[in-house]
Chain A
Amino acid sequence: MFDWIRPRDLNQLGMLSMNKRNIDYIARYNDRRAYPLVDNKLKTKLVVEEYEVASPKLLQVVSEQHQIGRFRERVANLDGFAIKPAKGSGGKGILVITGREGDSFIKPSGSKVSLEEIERHLSNILAGLYSLGGSPDVAVIEDLVRCDPRLARYSHEGVPDIRIVVFKGYPVMAMLRLATHASDGKANLHQGAVGVGLNLANGQALNAVQFDRPLEQHPDNGLNLADIRIDNWHYLLNMASRCYEATGLGYMGVDLVVDEQYGPLLLELNARPGLAIQIANGQGLLPRLKAVEALKRAHLTPEERVHWAMVQAGAENIPAPQRTTPVLEPAFQAC
């Protein structure tokens, strides 16, 4: 119960504290003007699209109370969808429907929801129940993400997602979040989801924690978490890195999922990513953040940044991207 760690030890591990994150990283590198971009899922979706970052297909936007009636007609031919408050945070207010049974809808946990309940949920979202500061909101209805079964089997009742912390466009740390029974199908660490630290070099699992305590097997399905290895890792990191160009946020969390049909998709961006990723990785963020800050000349393209980050993490035999160097031509040719 009374288990403490000395501040000096934390310093040695390079653990980023909440105060330091807020002052030295979020306040310094995140332009306030970019916040609405990430705090509003609808805007995020639209802006990252231009940077070739895919996200789940947008089905409908409910922005007024009277549009809820139309929702009823629209869902008639839908099997699976997710309702999200555009300005929600921390996974609040997200309702996922995986299928239908007669008139009722089925949640990932198997429980049923009636159409009336969904409509009430929509009206709650519009009133701003889940938005930051309670401001009026819009509901975004997206296509259901059907997770790649190779990854989905590790998760209980929910879609596992991959959180990558991107600092000035460089991926610095990553983890896989697996829903558990305790987390009620949500991939939220403080609600009891399992966090699996991922090696930046190859997407291989490092170690896993639940409720900040280490574990080896998934608490619900008993699968060995150390076996996890994310496919297409290089591509995922590139996707995360491109979000930097899209938003201009220096310090952010990129949440990705792997769809069995569409491949990696962006779920959301987070301008205030949590600190638990450090425990899942068993490493502090600070050394990596400082390494990026110490770079004299930043890399210009996402490919170069990802290559640098993977090499820093110890990756070998990865194809080097073409270094883009601006061609310097003499302005005047000596005659």
Chain B
Amino acid sequence: MTQHSKTPFYLATLLLIAAGLLLAVLRHVQMGVPWLPGEQQPVWLVEARIDFQAWGDPVSVNLNIPDQPPGFYTLTEQAASPGYGYAITEHQGNRRAEWSIREASGPQTLYFKTRLIPDQYASEPLLAPGPVKPAEVFLEEPDATAAQALLEQAKARSSDASSLTRELIALLNSSTPDQNTRLLLGNAAPATTLYQLLNFAGIPARIADGLQLEDARRQQSLQPWLQIYDGDRWLTFNPRTGTQGVPADVLLWRQAVGSLLDVTGGSNSVVRFSMLRQTVPALQIVRAEANERAFGALSLYQLPVEQQGMFRMLLLLPFGALVVCLMRILVGIKTSGTFMPVLIAVAFVQTSLLPGLAAFISVVTLGLLMRGYLSSLNLLLVSRISALIILVLFITAGISIIGYQMGFSTGMTVTFFPMVILAWTIERMSILWEEEGAHEVLIQGAGSLTVAVLAYLVMRAPLAEHISFNFPELHLVVLGIILLLGQYTGYKLTELRRFAPMKRYQ
């Protein structure tokens, strides 16, 4: 036979393992699927409460709501508003929740709730097409001159839009403001002044409303944040400190141009925010997100729940196969039938271990006794196996009924064992008994059960269950390991004992 170089094989195997790991890491990073089962992830529950006095006329309320705020991923949004019609509208990047009612009078309260998860990889909102132009700002004298002077001063110390912004913020927040600054700040709040100055200087700027997230806070209001456009995206600055970027605990509620709240048919409207930090299983979030993310298409959460349950079971099989490989190649345990232990282990998963073991041993023992009689009938092999399958069915039915009558519902679980596999196991054991004696039957039976129990323990481990279903690509790694095991030419553990008599020839 031809002998191929092993290098391509090892390369391909390593590639397989690397691909599996890479995909898993990617899934972890992209979708936030946790490595460990039961991992919790914080979720911010933010509630906007709108209060106003209705005049008894038709009322329409609309509130700007977060649209892909940086650093967060929106999990759910819902409104609570008795009697009001509710809809979410989007117009030129301006997402608004709209409530309307034919007639309302007296104090009214509307709620808007959103659940957000911190997500540093959240995608940036899409920009409206077309160039972003600075808003037109007209300053009257002497403000215009003061602004001009202030801008000159800041421009001298900066190189681009963002450094200019930082410089302006520093000037406006200076503890010893000069007269120009004092003049400008006398008319408007610092954030508004900055907005005017920047647009005046030809830099597109806007004011966003940010919410400081703190656990269990109520009656919070929004704070202004400054955003400038640097040519391809909006950069956010804290107008109070000059730091660039949105802190992790700040939610930008409103980023678009436009008012936060519009109420027609009412007055004294006010919007207040309260928030709560919850923790939910990270997986629950992943499942909710899976539909929307690109990588989600590659996950099993898309399948109907019933199929998911089936895959949960099937995806454990590679681990069982790995255990069998390890046991047979590295340890050298003899089993009856190569993968019979895995199938038994799968049955154990459904029956749980001890009842499963008891049921399996009793079925096989009874089957062996009956097979003894069958062998004296001089039957052809096919009909003997077929007869055995029917007998196994009778035995399982008998065990179930007797178990149930005696009050052990665990007896019923025996039906989870694959009948045909049981029949073949009995047949093989029986032939083994006739040819090699009871000793060999015990060795192979015990070997099969040991491997089955080990495979069961591995498949039952919460980590294995979690990993196999949520990171299906890790099965590439299992495949790689199995391929590598197939190249193992060293001694098996049992051979170290088998060849022990060789000691005296050293």
* Chain A residues with a Cβ under 8 A of chain B: 3-7, 9-10, 12-13, 15, 17-20, 23-24, 27-31, 65, 92, 116, 120, 123-124, 127-129, 134, 190-191, 209, 212-214, 250, 278-279, 282-284
Asked if A279 contacts B499 (CB within 8 A), the reply is yes
B373 to chain A, nearest CB (A): 14
B442 to chain A, nearest CB (A): 15
Binds A, one of B195-203, B313-321, B485-493: B485-493
Asked if B492 contacts A9 (CB within 8 A), the reply is no
Q: Which of B382, B492, B505, B506 is within 8 Å of A17, CB to CB? A: B492
Asked if A278 contacts B502 (CB within 8 A), the reply is yes
Neighbouring A residues of B498 by C-beta, 8 Å? 212
9 more CB-based (< 8 A) A-B contacts, given A5-B497, A10-B502, A92-B435: A5-B499, A13-B506, A20-B489, A116-B378, A123-B380, A124-B381, A212-B498, A214-B501, A278-B499
Interface membership of B91, Cβ < 8 A: no
> Would you list 20 pairs from A and B whose C-beta atoms are within 8 A, ordered by A residue?
A4-B497, A7-B496, A9-B502, A13-B505, A15-B502, A17-B490, A17-B492, A19-B488, A20-B490, A24-B489, A28-B1, A31-B1, A92-B435, A123-B380, A127-B381, A129-B431, A213-B501, A250-B1, A282-B502, A283-B505
Q: Which residue of A lies closest to B382 (CB)?
A: A127
Asked if A19 contacts B503 (CB within 8 A), the reply is no
Neighbouring B residues of A120 by C-beta, 8 Å? 378
Interface membership of B500, Cβ < 8 A: yes
Neighbouring A residues of B3 by C-beta, 8 Å? 28
B105 to chain A, nearest CB (A): 87
Neighbouring A residues of B506 by C-beta, 8 Å? 9, 12-13
Asked if B499 contacts A191 (CB within 8 A), the reply is no
Neighbouring B residues of A65 by C-beta, 8 Å? 380
Asked if B490 contacts A9 (CB within 8 A), the reply is no
Neighbouring B residues of A19 by C-beta, 8 Å? 329, 488-492
* Chain B residues with a Cβ under 8 A of chain A: 1, 3, 329, 332, 378, 380-382, 431, 435-436, 486-492, 495-506
Which of A10, A29, A123 gathers most chain B CB within 10 Å? A10
Asked if A7 contacts B381 (CB within 8 A), the reply is no
Neighbouring A residues of B504 by C-beta, 8 Å? 214, 282
A181 to chain B, nearest CB (A): 13
Q: Which of B1, B487, B492, B496 is within 8 Å of A18, CB to CB? A: B492
A119 to chain B, nearest CB (A): 8
The CA of A278 and the CA of B491, in the complex, are separated in Å by 14
User: Contacts A10-B499, A20-B490, A214-B501; is A191 near B1 (CB within 8 Å)?
Assistant: no
Q: Which residue of B lies closest to A3 (CB)?
A: B500
A37 to chain B, nearest CB (A): 15
User: Contacts A19-B490, A129-B381; is A6 near B496 (CB within 8 Å)?
Assistant: yes
Q: Which residue of B lies closest to A1 (CB)?
A: B497
Asked if B501 contacts A279 (CB within 8 A), the reply is yes
User: Contacts A20-B489, A28-B1; is A128 near B501 (CB within 8 Å)?
Assistant: no
User: Contacts A18-B495, A19-B490; is A212 near B380 (CB within 8 Å)?
Assistant: no
Asked if A23 contacts B487 (CB within 8 A), the reply is yes
B294 to chain A, nearest CB (A): 43
Q: Which residue of B lies closest to A13 (CB)?
A: B502
Asked if A29 contacts B1 (CB within 8 A), the reply is yes
The CA of A121 and the CA of B1, in the complex, are separated in Å by 38
Neighbouring A residues of B1 by C-beta, 8 Å? 27-31, 250
Neighbouring A residues of B495 by C-beta, 8 Å? 10, 15, 17-18
The CA of A123 and the CA of B380, in the complex, are separated in Å by 7
The CA of A134 and the CA of B424, in the complex, are separated in Å by 11
User: Contacts A127-B380, A127-B382, A129-B381; is A7 near B502 (CB within 8 Å)?
Assistant: no
A139 to chain B, nearest CB (A): 14
The CA of A129 and the CA of B428, in the complex, are separated in Å by 10
Q: Which residue of B lies closest to A91 (CB)?
A: B435
